[in-house]
Amino acid sequence: MTTPEYSRWWSRRVNDNILGPREVCIRSIEEHLQLVPSELEIIKQDFEKRNSELGKRIEQLEEEKMRLGLDVDIHKLEAEKLRKGKNKAEEDLDSLKTDYKKLRLSIITAGLGRSGSRKRFGKIRMPK
């Protein structure tokens, strides 16, 4: 006498106790092959992934290039500002030298340079 479970198992048995496929799980060869990607599809997916990564990297580099370009522009403006400040300072120095020469000449002309002030303050020198 056999149990109903054994009878079901025995009816599904094929070639040395290997169970045959269930009718629910049977797929056509086309369906089965559609689930397994071909080598070309794998290469295509890898290419698309790499292409996407490189696209993102290019965008990052372009943003960095733009930031660096802005930094260069800022440094150029600062350098120009400093150059103008230096030129203004040199003009002011030249103006002060000219005013000093005029003042010294006026002191000498007025005769103030020959009095005792020379003994107290020493010789008045002209800047170079």
For 86-103, write each residue's pLDDT tens digit.
999 999 999 999 999 999
How does residue 19 score in pLDDT terms, banded at 50, 70 and 90?
A: low
The pLDDT value recorded for residue 127 is 60
Q: Distance between CA 41 and CA 33 in Å, rounded?
A: 12
pLDDT, greater one: 31 or 81: 81
Question: What pTM was computed for the model?
Answer: 0.41
Alpha helices, H only, the chain:
4-12, 29-35, 39-110, 117-121
With a pLDDT cut of 90, the percent of the chain lying above it is 48
How does residue 111 score in pLDDT terms, banded at 50, 70 and 90?
A: confident
Tokens representing residue 14 in the block: 């094929």
Q: Distance between CA 69 and CA 75 in Å, rounded?
A: 10
Q: Distance between CA 59 and CA 79 in Å, rounded?
A: 30
Element (H, E) at 19: strand 18-19
